Amino acid sequence: MTIDLGTHPLTRWTGPFDLPAFGSVQDQDFEPVFEAALRAHEAEIEAIAGNSETPTIANTLQALELSGDALDRASAVFWMLAGAHTNERIQGVERAISPRMARHFSAISMNPRLFSRIDDLFNRRDELDLDPETRRVLEKTWRRYVRSGAKLGDEDKAALAKINEELASLGASFGQNVLADESSWVMFLDAGDLDGLPDFLKAAMAEAASSRGEAGRYAVTLSRSIYEPFTTFSERRDLREKAFRAFTMRGQNGGATDNSEVVRRTLELRAEKARLLGYESYAALKLEETMAKTPAAVQALLEPVWQKALEKAAVDQEGLEAIASGEGHNHPIAAWDWRHYAEKLRAQRFAFDEAELKPYLQLENVIAACFDVATKLFGIGFREQKGVTAWHPDVRTFAVLDGDGTQRGTFLADYFNRPTKRSGAWMSALQSGYKMDGGSKPIIYNVMNFARPPEGEAALLSLDEARTLFHEFGHALHGLLTDVTWPSVAGTAVSRDFVELPSQLYEHWLTVPQVLEKHARHRQTGEPMPQALIEKMEAAKTFNAGFATVEFTSSALIDMAYHQLSKAPEDPLAFEADTLEALDMPEAIAMRHRTPHFQHVFAGDGYSAGYYSYMWSEVLDADAFAAFEETGDPFDPETAAKLREFIYSAGGTQEPETLYTAFRGRMPSADAMMAKRGIA
Ligand SMILES: [Zn+2]
């Protein structure tokens, strides 16, 4: 089969809003299209590297940025499907293409003729009279090549390329193994097993059972939207324990989907890669280009937080034990009891039940609230376009409009859980927004895993889920509002510990009084959330903060511990257990992500030595929202204009510290974050 990249639906997008014509995308096309696109990209690189003219920004840096368009397009569609709507065929392609891509990109970053041109430009950067953005792109590109091995000798280059290839394969297997364990486990229950469960959960479990061919029964699945409320509300300790064990053993069940060896080998190869590149540890290599810069700076953030969180959790645990013994249970609080008794303690202390909020948090209204906040802050609008075929019938398409009505980008959203989707919530781009060479408009998407409501009923969210929706939409805005020239610094192409600022900051607007008043309306009566309920919600905001902080920080500390080793552990799971013991991890709390399913860290390289980033960004977001509070107006126009200019539109055009300081006038301390978490 010959592939014409100029007309193929994967590489030339002809759908509405310049989307791919998803209806014409065939799974069997990916491999041949990738092959053709890789060869086309190789030819482009060869032309740049082999150019006999003196290197210029146009013939080298710009040519490089604009190369690989067909490969970018096919990849964007492919990785979207691999995450949001996969199948066996796509998983097969993923295993085959991951090492192939790694080989391809290693060859580019270690191409000596190409690097000598970049190096030449870099050495002449002071004479080239560059605008600040171009200069920064040049410097970043040069550093990226050096950090990818461009200066190594031939033997080390070959060794590094092999490592990259194997790491890519391991990352693909890791993610597929977790998905296999998640989608294969289900616990069917009958009406007699539902003690304590609220109606919304029973409905979601009935829907999950019927979609698995067990109509009339109730299914506990490992989707967070079902697992967490089930272990919170179920009075059946035996069933809570069963669900808890399945959830925390994902990726560690023996057999073909067990991730223990994948993790061991990944850590071994990462340590070897760091050594080849001349770094003390993989964490040192990864952190060099972040705000934190060194492992020591990360530890300096996490360690005091950890001590405070342990103290807070110990106090909370006593409260839970009192409730349990009041019910006549004299067992110690186990990890499958914590959520359950915490919910009861909250109800007792604040007369507040999380489930009371749900009728006010209809998915439709939370989406409208997200859009409304963006309109108030940034003057942009959203118009749903019905009838657009995307990758699944659930996917919704919105035109994103500037104040004058012109379309600035496209937003797609895929909200409901299904067995073909990996767990979690994320934002990504099919296409990023930039101005170079005629420009490109951003096409951004959000993927969530909310439980699907029964036919004809409104989907209701928990407060956490509504926050997640705001969070991912904050990332989407970072992509949609981008205003840069160079593709490589567009949107979310910023340091990992800065990228959670636009998302976590956006969460703050969910509970702003005007937003609740307008959008948190009861699904039957249309009444706004009663003031008394809002007050209880506010009062309970930092309740259980010790638990949440221990859960998160233990995962961040384990991630850092693995990647600061100069030699990888023989048995990573024993290392996890020993490290937790040395940290005094409470037995009654589990890590938010245990090693065998820690996708941030092992399903690819995105957040390895980087899970701390959420907390690093939280230091910024707590302080950034205070900039609005200090004006007395959560939508203060002047502050919003600065926020747009320096945070949401600026991409990676400047150092994050420079951008943040331009917005706020100074850098923050960690105090506001600890106060916000309720552990100060
Ligand atoms: Zn995020």
**Could you write out the three-class secondary structure of 542-603?**
CCCHHHHHHHHHHHHHHHHHHHCCCCCCCCHHHHHHHHHHHCCCCCCCCCCCCHHHCHHHHC
Cα–ligand 1 centroid distance for 518 (angstroms)? 26
Q: What's the helix, strand, coil split of the chain in %, to 5?
A: 60, 5, 35
Cα–ligand 1 centroid distance for 499 (angstroms)? 7
Going by pLDDT thresholds of 50, 70 and 90, the confidence category of residue 474 is very high
Rounded Cα gap, residues 346 and 537, in angstroms = 10
Phi and psi of 127, rounded to 5°? -90, -10
DSSP 261-285: HHHHHHHHHHHHHHHHTT-SSHHHH
Distances from the Cα of 231 to the Cα of 194, 205, 335, 464, angstroms:
12, 13, 10, 15
pLDDT at site 2: 83
pLDDT tens, residue by residue, 144-187: 999 999 999 999 999 999 999 999 999 999 999 999 999 899 99
Cα–ligand 1 centroid distance for 472 (angstroms)? 6
Asked whether the predicted pLDDT for residue 1 surpasses 80, the reply is no
Cα–ligand 1 centroid distance for 274 (angstroms)? 26
The CA-based dihedral angle spanning residues 81, 84, 86, 90, taken in that order and rounded to the nearest 10 degrees: 30
pLDDT tens, residue by residue, 609-652: 999 999 999 999 999 999 999 999 999 999 999 999 999 999 99
Phi and psi of 526, rounded to 5°? 75, 5
pLDDT tens, residue by residue, 389-440: 999 999 999 999 999 999 999 999 999 999 899 989 999 999 999 999 999 9
Cα–ligand 1 centroid distance for 664 (angstroms)? 22
pLDDT at site 454: 84
User: What's the whole-number mean pLDDT along residues 113-142?
Assistant: 98
Catalytic residue among 94, 182, 472, 500: 472
If DSSP codes are grouped into helix, strand and coil, which group holds residue 386?
coil
> What percent of the chain has pLDDT above 90?
92
Cα–ligand 1 centroid distance for 493 (angstroms)? 13
Cα–ligand 1 centroid distance for 102 (angstroms)? 25
Q: Which two tokens stand for residue 655?
A: 């150092």
Cα–ligand 1 centroid distance for 611 (angstroms)? 11
Cβ pair 442, 480 in contact under 8 A = yes
pLDDT, the chain, mean: 96
Going by pLDDT thresholds of 50, 70 and 90, the confidence category of residue 523 is very high
Cα–ligand 1 centroid distance for 268 (angstroms)? 28
Cα–ligand 1 centroid distance for 110 (angstroms)? 31
Cα 336 versus chain centre, distance: 26
User: What's the whole-number mean pLDDT along residues 254-280?
Assistant: 97
What pTM was computed for the model?
Answer: 0.94
Cα–ligand 1 centroid distance for 426 (angstroms)? 7
Please compute, for residue 611, the number of CA atoms within 13 A of its CA located in the half-sphere on the CB side. 27
If DSSP codes are grouped into helix, strand and coil, which group holds residue 121?
helix
User: What's the whole-number mean pLDDT along residues 129-140?
Assistant: 98
pLDDT at site 352: 84
pLDDT tens, residue by residue, 323-352: 999 999 888 999 999 999 999 999 899 988
pLDDT tens, residue by residue, 197-237: 999 899 999 999 999 999 999 999 999 889 999 999 999 99
pLDDT tens, residue by residue, 92-121: 999 999 999 999 999 999 999 999 999 999
Cα distance between the two ends of the chain = 64
Helix (H) or strand (E) holding 399: strand 396-401
581 included as an active-site residue: no
In this structure, the number of other CB atoms found within 10 A of the CB of residue 270 comes to 25
Cα–ligand 1 centroid distance for 618 (angstroms)? 11
Pairing assessment for the beta strands 381-385 and 396-401 based on DSSP bridges: antiparallel
